[in-house]
Amino acid sequence: MSSVAVSPLAPKTYPEMPAIDGVRIATAKAGIKYKGRVDLMAMVFDEGTAVAGVLTTSKCPSAPVDLCREHLAGGRARILVVNAGNANAFTGKKGRHTTAVAARAAAEAAGCSEGEVFLSSTGVIGEPLDPSHFERHLSDMVAGAAGDRWTEAAHAIMTTDTFPKLVTRTVTLGDAEVTINAIAKGAGMIAPDMATMLSYLATDAPIAAPVLQALLSRYTASTFNAITVDSDTSTSDTLLAFATGKASARGAPTIETIDDPRLAAFETAFEACLLDLALMLARDGEGATKLIRVEVIGAVSGASAKRIAMSIANSPLVKTAVTGEDANWGRVVMAVGKAGEPADRDRLAIWFGDILVASEGERAESYSEAATSAYMKNDEIVIRADIGLGEGRFTVWTCNLTKEYVAINGDYRS
Amino acid sequence: MSSVAVSPLAPKTYPEMPAIDGVRIATAKAGIKYKGRVDLMAMVFDEGTAVAGVLTTSKCPSAPVDLCREHLAGGRARILVVNAGNANAFTGKKGRHTTAVAARAAAEAAGCSEGEVFLSSTGVIGEPLDPSHFERHLSDMVAGAAGDRWTEAAHAIMTTDTFPKLVTRTVTLGDAEVTINAIAKGAGMIAPDMATMLSYLATDAPIAAPVLQALLSRYTASTFNAITVDSDTSTSDTLLAFATGKASARGAPTIETIDDPRLAAFETAFEACLLDLALMLARDGEGATKLIRVEVIGAVSGASAKRIAMSIANSPLVKTAVTGEDANWGRVVMAVGKAGEPADRDRLAIWFGDILVASEGERAESYSEAATSAYMKNDEIVIRADIGLGEGRFTVWTCNLTKEYVAINGDYRS
């Protein structure tokens, strides 16, 4: 992994991450797979922390995903433990044994019930994960946890990521300032649903678990589930949101319903955090050198627009054309055509950026190869397709397909 | 295109193609896009030739596909004209004008009605195709056509193909020998349906058009529609079958129904021809160095098995793992999981070749990294997944994903 340089699409600066009241973090070098780097992260929450989550739809989920699904029903969290290097997926009974041992060790360390423990594992699939890592480290980690370690946390959960993914927003809830911090990891095996692969958001705002869940469900559709790197969906995708409620002490109102008008600013910031992280995942797509925004408008419905947009965004031919800096709109036509959704060749219009390249079933009269070629040199490419049949629209983000993607994924385990 | 060497998976020898009674072929260097190579092919059929076809399901088909769809209704063919270098797709009114002019020129040259003309175009999408190429060449081509030019025909229709695709079979129908010849082209933008991109089969057997159509429909499902290179579906995919009926003169019976028991040997040979060509397409997948057979068994239905098999075969992570000669069965689990079909992690079993690598939700006890690594060095890799839930099974073929795929498709037009 370490042979890969930082993505050319990485952010130029990283945010200073403030502490979140009620959240303490610790990391450790457990040597699970990687040597000499942090690969284990614990996030400890004060009593009264609400939790919500969205998990992979894979029919073959990892053992930790099964555990999270079970514990989410309780709506309460005291500790999150994440390891990198081994996904504990397709590990059968051994995998369930490992999550059981890890949950017990985490609960003991945090002084909580096992139902308040959340686990994630990311890395190679199918290798047994030795549970002793958790027994050996968690007690010391919890004892030494501190609030100002969000950047370390983002580093600890990386696998093939070339840069850590962090975002923070501070907004007003009632008369109090509240903060949202979030981190994510993921660079490949990224497609709806979920696209994360792993992402954790924490806030000191007093948001009831059902509201937190409603916010997640509402905004993953247009953020994490609107990005795709390679159309592959992980067995481990996990997005968890934690609300400690500590801002109550500073006068923040407790939000019990999603319709509460006091939620507006928080809701906007919440969505922005998810979108920022999702775009960072696309920017860190394995081997990516271009971020691609695919906007489909004029489809017969929003769902139809999404399927067409995903067909374009997942097309290897579209993605390699962008790599070649070639405005090959013929491949966009092909991808619209193969989506299986209502489309009429003679009504279709396609833009690269602001340049109309095709309309009414043929190349636009104004088309200029020179202008589109110049546009294609940008780091961020917008492909817009107007299907011309209705009002349905959807936007997805992806990245280009390069030789480096093949190199990274053809030499992962060996 | 010419910079790409012949695929390492190309056949070691090519068949001698016999003439088919009632079929004459001509090729020309029309200079449509390529300079100094044949790029135009005409296949002329004697009166009484039946035709059947399967065409792309793309919602944005090319102009020649529209024409073929219209003319197939008549069931009669006298001339097929195919050009390489320009797909005449997404060319709007200009495209329809070109097919109209080409059909008129072909009908005049062959002395037939326009409804007996079939056209295909392959190459770049969205560029107007100058109809004068057809007006200039077809009359001379038809005049000079001859029966022994199948190999030239296979060359004339190539685009990014690294080798010509030809197959021939001779079988007994009644007491007479009949011959099937078939050619195809295609290396990328290959996925169901259709996977061809272009394929033409001709026989001297007297097969009525509805029977020919029934045979095509029956056997494309397990051949052309069971291969995938990159999940992309062309706007131009066309498979046409022509039966001149000339073997009647040698005593072959005319086949009027698909149930005719005399059809058995012919039917077997027909399917074999389609499968051979389909596998050649997978072997010539852009940049391919490995042929991959994905067998899914134990799914809840055949349709479910096909969706799971396609999910595995189209997974960039599975395909790059094969490139890395890594038996990364974790990615196979991932691909089974994301297919959205019924699957149970704890019943799943996976083999690479004859080597059981995973069963009952975890790595097989007998698993040997050395043995699987040795197996992965083969040119042909079999991935078998037993879903463990039912009797549904389906086999698909694909190829690996390499840096060369990206190079070929990132530098196609420029």
**Burial A225-238, CB ≥16 within 10 A → b, else e:** bbbbbbbbbbbbbb
Task: Quote the CA–CA distance of B233 and B206 in Å, as a whole number.
Answer: 33
User: Is B235's CB within 8 Å of A334's CB?
Assistant: yes
Task: Return the axis-axis angle of helices A264-283 and A209-220, rounded to nearest 10°.
Answer: 50
Average pLDDT for residues B239-251, to the nearest whole number? 97
Poorest-pLDDT segment among A203-217, A231-245, A294-308? A231-245
Contacts of A128 in chain B (CB under 8 A): 362-363
Q: Which sign, positive or negative, has the C-alpha torsion A387, A388, A393, A395? A: positive
H/E stretch holding B282 reads helix B264-283
What are the structure tokens assigned to B349, written together?
């079993």
Q: Is residue A128 exposed (0-12), middle (13-18) or buried (19+ Cβ within 10 Å)?
A: middle
Split at pLDDT 50, 70, 90, the class of A3 is: very low
Q: Return the closest-CA partner of residue A400 out of A301, A316, A274, A306.
A: A316
Q: Is the pLDDT of residue A231 over 80?
A: no
* Whether B147 contacts B108, CB under 8 Å: no
Q: Which helix (H) or strand (E) holds B359?
A: strand B355-359
- The answer to whether the CB atoms of B235 and A337 lie below 8 A apart is yes
Average pLDDT over all residues of chain B: 91
The whole-angstrom distance between A58's CA and the closest CA on chain B is: 5
CATH 3.10.20.340 domain range(s) in chain A: 291-409
Of A29-38, A142-151, A226-235, A273-282, give the lowest mean pLDDT range: A226-235
What pLDDT does B230 receive? 66
Residue A5 has pLDDT above 90, yes or no: no
The answer on pLDDT for B160 being more than 90 is no
Q: Quote the tokens at residue A176.
A: 């109090």
pLDDT at residue A306 greater than cutoff 90: yes
Check whether B256 has a pLDDT greater than 60. yes
Residues of CATH 3.60.70.12 domain(s) within chain A?
A: 23-283
B317 — pLDDT class (breaks 50, 70, 90): confident
The pLDDT of B328-334, averaged and rounded, is 87
pLDDT at A51: 97
> What are the tens digits of pLDDT across the range B318-327?
999 999 999 8
In this complex, which of B232, B337, B413 lies closest to A59 when CB atoms are compared? B337
Reported as a single tens digit per residue, the pLDDT across B4-48 is 588 889 999 999 999 999 999 999 999 998 888 999 999 999 999
**Which residues in chain B have their CB less than 8 angstroms from residue A127's CB?**
363
Model confidence pLDDT, tens digit, residues A97-121? 999 999 999 999 999 999 999 999 9
Residue B174 has pLDDT above 50, yes or no: yes
3-state SS, chain A, equals CCCCCCCCCCCCCCCCCCCCCCEEEEEECCCCCCCCCCCEEEEEECCCCEEEEEECCCCCCCHHHHHHHHHHCCCECCEEEEEEEECCCCCHHHHHHHHHHHHHHHHHHHCCCHHHEEEEEEEECCCCCCCHHHHHHHHHHHHCCECCCHHHHHHHCCCCCCCCEEEEEEEEECCEEEEEEEEEECCCCCCCCCCCCEEEEEECCCECHHHHHHHHHHHHCCCHHHEECCCCCCCCCEEEEEECCHHHHHCCCCECCCCCHHHHHHHHHHHHHHHHHHHHHHHCCCCCCCEEEEEEEEECCHHHHHHHHHHHHCCHHHHHHHHCCCCCHHHHHHHHHHCCCCCCHHHCEEEECCEEEEECCEECCCCCHHHHHHHCCCCEEEEEEECCCCCEEEEEEEECCCHHHHHHHCCCCC
Q: Quick check: A47 and A97 in contact, CB under 8 A?
A: no
pLDDT (average), residues A24-43: 94
Residue A244 has pLDDT above 50, yes or no: yes
Task: Give the pLDDT score at B188.
Answer: 62
Within 8 A of A409 by CB-CB distance, chain B residues are 316-317, 320-321, 324
Structure tokens at A98: 């490992």
> Regarding the domain with residue range A23-283, which homologous superfamily does it belong to in the CATH classification?
L-amino peptidase D-ALA esterase/amidase (3.60.70.12)
**Quick one: average pLDDT of A228-246?**
83
Confidence at A232, pLDDT banded by 50, 70, 90: low
The winner for highest mean pLDDT among A125-129, A180-184, A338-342, B403-407 is A180-184
Tokens of B319: 């395909």
Predicted pLDDT of residue B225: 86
Phi-psi region of A295 (alpha: psi -120 to 50; beta: other; left: phi over 0): beta
Q: What is the pLDDT of residue A294?
A: 97
| pLDDT-derived band at B138, boundaries 50, 70, 90 | very high
Average pLDDT of every residue of chain A: 91
What average pLDDT does the segment B205-224 reach?
94
Indicate yes or no: CB of B338 within 8 angstroms of CB of A407: no
Chain B residues lying within 8 Å of A411, measured CB to CB: 324, 326
Give me the pLDDT at residue A188, please. Answer: 62
* Residue B287: pLDDT over 90: no
Whole-number Å distance between alpha carbons of A119 and A77: 11
* Helix/strand number for chain B, H first, E second: 11, 16
* Residue B413, pLDDT score: 47
Neighbouring CB atoms inside 10 A of B132's CB total: 13
- Using alpha carbons only, give the angle A403, A408, A411 rounded to the nearest 5 degrees: 115
Instruction: Give the DSSP H/E element, type plus range, for residue B334.
Output: helix B329-338
- d(Cα B349, Cα A148) in Å, to the nearest integer? 45
Choosing from A98, A196, A372, A398, the catalytic residue is A196
Q: What is the predicted pLDDT for the residue at A192?
A: 39
Give residue B190's pLDDT.
Answer: 52
Task: Respond yes or no: is residue A122 known to be catalytic.
Answer: no
- Inter-chain CB proximity A90 and B189 less than 8 Å: no
- What percent of chain A is predicted at pLDDT more than 90? 70
pLDDT at position B60, please? 82
**pLDDT band at A221, cuts 50/70/90?**
confident
Nearest to B103, CA basis, from B125, B77, B140: B77
> In the block, which residue shows the tokens 């029903």?
A73
Q: List pLDDT tens digits, range B180-198.
A: 999 999 866 554 343 347 9
Closest partner residue to A338 (CB to CB) among B87, B232, B342 is B232
Contact A26, A146 (CB under 8 A): yes
Of A218-232, A298-312, A384-398, B134-148, where does mean pLDDT reach its minimum? Answer: A218-232
- Look at A327 and B256; give whichever has higher pLDDT: B256
Question: What number does CATH give the domain B291-409?
Answer: 3.10.20.340
Q: For residue range A167-197, what is the model confidence (pLDDT) as tens digits?
A: 999 999 999 999 999 999 986 655 434 334 7
Residues of chain A with C-beta less than 8 angstroms from the C-beta of B412? 321, 324, 326, 328
Residue carrying the six token digits 């009114």: B93
Asked if B194 and B56 count as a contact pair (C-beta separation under 8 A), the reply is: yes
Which residue of chain B has the CA closest to A407?
A: B403
pLDDT at residue A366, as a whole number: 87
Quick: pLDDT tens for A127-158: 899 999 999 999 999 999 999 999 999 999 99
List Cα–Cα distances, A320 to A55, A264, A290, B290, B403, in angstroms. 30, 41, 11, 21, 11
Instruction: Compare CB distances from A317 to B56, B232, B324 and report the shortest one's residue.
Output: B232
**ipTM score for this prediction:** 0.75
Residue tagged 């833009």 (tokens): A351
Taking residues B88-114, report their average pLDDT. 95
The closest alpha carbon to B309, from B392, B369, B234, B378, belongs to B392
Host H or E run for residue B158: none
Which of B66, B91, B304, B334 is most worth mutating to test chain A (most A CB atoms within 10 A of its CB)? B334
Neighbours of A365 (CB within 10 A): 7
- Give the mutation candidate from A86, A320, A325, A356 for the B interface (greatest B CB count, under 10 A): A320
